[in-house]
Each structure stands twice: as C-alpha cells, then as structure tokens.
Structure 1
Amino acid sequence: MSVTSDPLNGVLLEDRYRVDAKIATGGMSTVYRGLDVRLDRPVALKVMDARYAGDSQFLTRFQREARAVARLKDPGLVAVYDQGLDGSHPFLVMELIEGGTLRELLRERGPMPPHAAAAVLRPLLGGLATAHRAGLVHRDVKPENVLISDDGEVKLVDFGLVRAVAEAGITSTSVILGTAAYLSPEQVSTGAADARSDVYAVGVLAYELITGATPFTGDNPLTVAYQRMDHDVPPPSAAISGVPPQFDEFIARATARDPEARFADAAEMAEDLDAIAVELALPKFRVPAPRNSAQHAAATAFHSRPTVDFHPAPQQVPAQTAPPLPPPPAVKNPTRQLIRDPQDWRPIAEDDETPELASQFAGIDIGEFIWERQRARRSLMFWTLIVLLLTGGMAAAGWALGTNLQSLIG
C-alpha cells in the first residue's frame, strides 16, 4: 500500500464537513469519506477538481443539478444532502454507502448468473425510473457509478455531473475513457441524451453483468465509442453458453441503435425485466458488496491512523491510498466462462430447493443453472408419468388375465 500526501486530508469544508480519507479519484473529482461535524453523521464528499472553481457557468449548473437530484427519493439512488464551494473546491455532500462499487464486484467475482444480474438491475432501474419521471437523465450509467452496500443495497450515484461539465465546455480524457463503453449512438454522434440514452447504457451494463465484458473493444475510447454507430450489441448468448433467449431479447431492445426501438424509459425496461424474472422463476438474491473495496480500505486507513489535531496542517497528515484492485478473472475459453466458486452467487434460501440449486453452480456454465433445474423437473415429471402409465397398464393387464382365467375355470 503506497502512502501519499493529500492536501485536503483533515480539512473542514465550510466549517462543517471534515475530510477524513480518500476513497477514489476520477477525471472530474475525488471522493472522500467524511464527517458532518454538526450532525455527527458520516458522509461521502465528492470534491470537484479545482479547475472548475473559476468557471461560473459550471458552478451555476453544478448547484442547479445538485438541487434537482436532492429532491429525488428512491432506494436505488444515493441521496444528496448538500453542496458547497470552499475556496477552490466545489463539493457535494452525499449519503455514505459502506461497501464498494459494482466495478470492484465484477473484478472480484466475474460474470453473474441471471438471478444475480436481475438483482443488480432491478434497483438500478427503479432509481433511474424515479429520475426519468422527474425529467432528469443520468448520462453516465456504468459500474463505477453503481454502489453496493454491505447490506446488499444497490444504488446509483453521480446524477447531473456529466451535464454540468459538458455545459462548462471542459473535457477530460479520463472521463471519456470511463464512459465510452456505455455511450449511446446519439450521444456519440450529437451529444444529445434523453431517458432512452440511459436505457442503452443499462443494456450494455446488463450485457457486461452476464458475460463479464463490454460488447465493444478498441485501441482507444473513440474507436470503442464509434463502433456502436455501425454495429449492434451482440446477444450475450454469442459470448457465453446457457443464456436464455429472454435476456438476449431484453438486451437487444435496450441497445437498439434507433432510440425509437428501445424501451421508452427505465420504468418500461423494469417492467420487462420483472416479466422475465417471473417467466424464468429467478430466485431472490442479495447482491454482495466487494470484499476488498477502496471504500473499506479508506475506512481502515482512517480508523488506524494516529489521532491528530482537529485543524492539522495539510502536509502533516498523510493519507493512504487504497490497494490496487485484483485483476479480472482469467478466461481460458471466452465462449464458456464457468462460475469459479459455488457460493459466489448463491440465492437467498427460501425453501428446501435452494441448497440443491446452489450445489449445481460448480462446473456449470453461467446462466444454465435455472434451465438445468427446470429441465430436471420436466424430466422427473415425464418419467413419473411413464411409471404411472406402466403401472396402470400392468394392473389392467393383470385384471384382464384374471378375468379370463376365471371364465375358463368356470
């Protein structure tokens, strides 16, 4: 674990929000674990890059977007508590999610079976649906912006920031790098975005959850972005065996190149997902938080460091960066990715059948476990019917033979 000096560590923003430990750094901002000293409440502090502080257009848009997002109330959204400007640091104060990101979970465990993917997508679409009804568009749905709490809550973060930065006319290579894989064709061609653009991004995300990779690759972000202008997102069943046709159709509609052919918004997409879950009898599932997240590392770094003065000199308080994430799981055959740990994606136990279902995970192609169980049930019903028919037939034959013998004897 490397140690670096962070000038904001220990600083009290607007005499209220104490910066405790860095969680993550991106192209636009740095996220810290913090404390609202007035309410004695842990918070997440998203501090924007200093270059935004002098841009009045950005600050106006930043404040407007923060107010709009703060009005949204949904279990699938990270709550925004406050926003402010302290010297050269515009910042957001948000709900602190003790856990990690969906990106970290994917790197730890690899692709998900359908019941786990649905458990991620359902609250994500619920939060987006609330925003879409309020006329808001996220514009940057990706695994880094999906948080998973230690209690299994799935929440979307960072509404409005992309729009505020875009309207300020400030671009960032790292921002493009993080977003290119999920941009809709219309965002690439014209920069325009509406609810259907978010739907496209969720469709790409769903593909990644099931297959473990995004559908388009390239040498640079522009190559990745422009591929969707001429190519459809392939069905996940082409990359991994056992994916049901319902998920192929679900992702194909969400990622249609023509926005008119997609789900109209997240609410309509959620309805289709619920119908698929019922049709396939997908078991309930609590999404696990990543075990080795940057969030947990930040909390450990903060609680293990020596006690310091409440207003320390910035250079006197070292901050520890989070350990690097483990590499994605190796795939020997890209068309047959297997679940590595039978317990990784175990459903919630609700009946006696769940342990049997979980025990089938090892060595089975991802996505096949539900259909293997249904196939086994159909097979059992078939052979039970055959046995009943044979038993009935033998009984009838025995009765007929007995009657004939009695007639002959009589």
Structure 2
Amino acid sequence: MAVTSDPLISVLLEGRYRVDAKIATGGMSTVYRGLDVRLDRPVALKVMDSRYASDSQFLTRFQREARAVARLKDPGLVAVYDQGLDSSHPFLVMELVEGGTLRELLRERGPMPPHAAAAVLRPVLGGLATAHHAGLVHRDVKPENVLISDDGEVKLVDFGLVRAVAEAGITSTSVILGTAAYLSPEQVSSGAADARSDVYAVGILAYELLTGTTPFTGDNPLTVAYQRMDNDVPLPSTVISGVPRQFDEFIAKATARTTVDRFADAEEMAEDLDAISQELALPKFRVPAPSHSAQHAAATAFHSRPTEDYRAALPVPPPAPQGVKNPTRALIRDPQDWQPAEADDESLDIPAQFAGIDIGEFVWERQRARRSLVFWMLIVLLLTAGVAAAGWTLGTNLGGLL
C-alpha cells in the first residue's frame, strides 16, 4: 500500500486549517487542498518553504503583503482569507478555485483564436487594474498563476509573494528562472518593477495565448531573460496565421522595451482590448477549465483515500467527463476550432450537422421547437376535451328524450 511521503498531509495548521492533498509544488511554496474546519469551508493552502520560517524580515513582509492583497476585491483575483505561521511553515489561506491553471489548458488545447484569448485577458487585466489602483504590482504574471474554474471564471493568484521574497533579500535562483519568459527588460536589468512591468508580462501572455509559445528561446532561462534587452517581441501574425493586425499592435505596445512606450497600467491596456473586441465584433466566450488538472487529481486522490479525520470533507465536484458534450470541451489543437460558447446548458448533445453554427442559436431553435410541440399538444388536449364534453351533453339530452 502506497504511503504518502508528505508530512503535512492531515496536519491541522494553527488548529484550524486541515491539509488534505497536494495540488502543486513551486520554487517557493507548495499548494494544498485544505479545509477550514471552523467554517467547514474548502480552501487552498499555500505553504511557504521552511527555509523562510526563520527569516524575520521575510515574515514581516509576508504578513504585510498578505494584508494588502486581502483588501483587494475583484472577480479576476483569487481572494486571500488568512495568513499564519505554524511551526516552521508560513502559509496563506486562499479561495479554492475548482478547476485548473491556464498552463494546463494551453497544454491540452494549444493556441487560442482572438475571441478566446480576449476572454482570458479581460479578467486578468481587470484584477491587475484593481491592484494597480491600490498601488500593488504582481511581478509574476504567467499561465501558472492564472486559474480557470469549472464554471469558466478566470482568476489571477499569487500577488505579493515575489515581492516579499525579493525584498527580504532571499530570492532563490528558482524564483528568477521560473519567471524568465515573462520578465520585463527593467526587471532583468535592475529588478525594478511597476504597473508597466505587469503590462509587459500580460503582453507576453497574450502572445503565448495566440501562438502557443513564448517569443524568446535559449539554452537556459537566463539567456531567455536577457534576449528581451536587445530584441523586440515579434508580431504574433508572423508566427501563426489568422492573427488580426489589431492584436499585433496591442502586443507590440504592451511589450515595448521602453516603459514610456507601453500602456501606463492594466486599466489602460484593458480599455484598448475592449476597443479591439468591439472593432472586430469578437463573440463572447466562456473559458473552459482544463479536463485533466492537478486540482482535479488532488480532489480525486483525497476523496478516494481512507480517512479517519474527525470531520468529513465537503463534497467536491467530480473531474470533467471524458466524453465531449459541447464543442468548447473538446481537446482542440487548431485555434480556428475554438467555438464561442454562449449557452449555459453544459448537458447539450450538439448534433454533428450543427457543429459549425453558434451554440446559442442552436439552443434557441431547440427551445422554439419544444414550445411549438407543447402548443400543439395543448390544442389536441383541448379538442379532445371539447369532443368529450359535446358527446356527454348529446348523450344526456338523448337520454332525456327517451
């Protein structure tokens, strides 16, 4: 029988937060699925590496950043509920987003067409705009830090952690290397970052959404990081066909090497994206969660293992089904095959002959057919009742005459 090697599993942090299953591990921390036993609420627990526990400067900055992020309220941000220190484990308690990461979605489906990319970027920019208004900078925007729920919500996570580590003077090589593809030129040259640094990272993210790859490559992450000092990000239309000119210009401005040539902040960038969406008449799109994610695997592992915990875990939605019931759930490699999804009914079985039309139109047609069927059934019932009543009346009158 397999035995977990993670000593934190089933531990109750600060007597309140039970660690249930590991979701992901990074250079600074490990994320777990957990349960707030006081409120009986599932949560995400980001437990920092134990090497940070003895650094008082880090702990002070960690607490300060957690308080600042907890005040941010936006649908595009993962909510921070609490922070604490249990033994040698500094940790954050956050909203649990049932679904997966944008990185996992890109691995499953490949590059996105403009309407799907815009659907991802809007909430990311909305969350960043809220933070920028509050004077906060993310510093680590990348697909791993964008979560997608099973309900199609897109949320940005991990505000403040990079700053807390960097300002404490204990930045590890893994932290730098993990973000090399998305660092702005000023972050590479001096470590400085402001709202325009986040804008640059979102520009790289937009490029990756449209092309399926990041713009710079190299033998190692440091080489990748330094390439942006002397090279502009190429236009995505030169890498993959079908990218509109407006998105080329959008990404070029976001990733300008000189900060004054970029969007001033996420709000200005979001306004430009909205203008592009209107000009191109981009359809609405609900971003699907990845079908096979670490989050789903953690939920499945937790609920399949025996437990003697004194409290039962809350029920968790099962992983996404393997069968495709909606075109937006298919594992698609061709970006032209991402279909706008305006229907809310995930149980629809779309016939093959309707695969190329708008789903919302198909739903409306089917609903109209159902209403027509109900109408004629009512007519038949009324006619039947009328004939029966006439027969009963005639029979009664004849009986009276006899």
The two structures have a TM-score, normalised by structure 2, of 0.79
Deviation at 1:176, TM superposition (A): 2.1
Q: Which residue matches 1:108?
A: 108
Q: Which residue matches 1:119?
A: 119
1:340 counterpart = 2:337 = no
Measured in 1, the distance between the counterparts of 2:357 and 2:225 equals 38
Map 1:132-151 to 2 at 5 A. 132-151=132-151
The aligned amino acid for 2:91 is F
* Higher relative contact order, chain-length normalized (CA < 8 Å, sep 6+): 1
Measured in 1, the distance between the counterparts of 2:334 and 2:241 equals 18
- Structure 1 123/189 Cα, relative in aligned 2: closer, same or farther at 3 Å? same
Unaligned runs of 5+ in 2: 312-330, 344-351, 359-402
Q: Which residue matches 2:366?
A: none
Measured in 2, the distance between the counterparts of 1:193 and 1:219 equals 26
- Structure 1 360/241 Cα, relative in aligned 2: closer, same or farther at 3 Å? farther
Instruction: Tell whether the 8 Å contact from 2:108 to 2:332 is kept in structure 1 after alignment.
Output: no
Measured in 1, the distance between the counterparts of 2:117 and 2:245 equals 15
Q: Deviations over 1:163-191 (max 9, x none)?
A: 00001211323222220000000000000
- Partner of 1:30, secondary structure, is strand
The aligned amino acid for 2:111 is P
- Partner of 1:224, secondary structure, is helix
Q: Deviations over 1:289-322 (max 9, x none)?
A: 00000000000000000022449xxxxxxxxxxx
Deviation at 1:221, TM superposition (A): 1.0
- Partner of 2:75, secondary structure, is coil
Measured in 2, the distance between the counterparts of 1:255 and 1:196 equals 9
- Partner of 2:31, secondary structure, is strand
- Structure 1 194/261 Cα, relative in aligned 2: closer, same or farther at 3 Å? same
Q: Deviations over 1:144-175 (max 9, x none)?
A: 00000000000000000000000121132322
Instruction: Tell whether the 8 Å contact from 1:347 to 1:358 is kept in structure 2 after alignment.
Output: no
Q: Which residue matches 2:317?
A: none
Percent of aligned positions that are identical? 87
Measured in 1, the distance between the counterparts of 2:309 and 2:41 equals 19
Q: Which residue matches 1:231?
A: 231
Measured in 2, the distance between the counterparts of 1:19 and 1:28 equals 18
Map 1:200-239 to 2 at 5 A. 200-239=200-239
The two structures have a TM-score, normalised by structure 1, of 0.78
Q: Which residue matches 1:164?
A: 164
- Partner of 1:93, secondary structure, is strand
- Structure 1 348/92 Cα, relative in aligned 2: closer, same or farther at 3 Å? same
Instruction: Tell whether the 8 Å contact from 1:33 to 1:42 is kept in structure 2 after alignment.
Output: yes
- Partner of 1:171, secondary structure, is coil
Unaligned runs of 5+ in 1: 312-337, 362-410
- Partner of 1:217, secondary structure, is coil
The root-mean-square deviation of aligned C-alpha atoms, in Å, is: 2.1
Residue correspondences, number: 330
- Partner of 2:282, secondary structure, is coil
Map 1:9-158 to 2 at 5 A. 9-158=9-158
1:359 counterpart = 2:356 = yes
Measured in 2, the distance between the counterparts of 1:283 and 1:140 equals 29
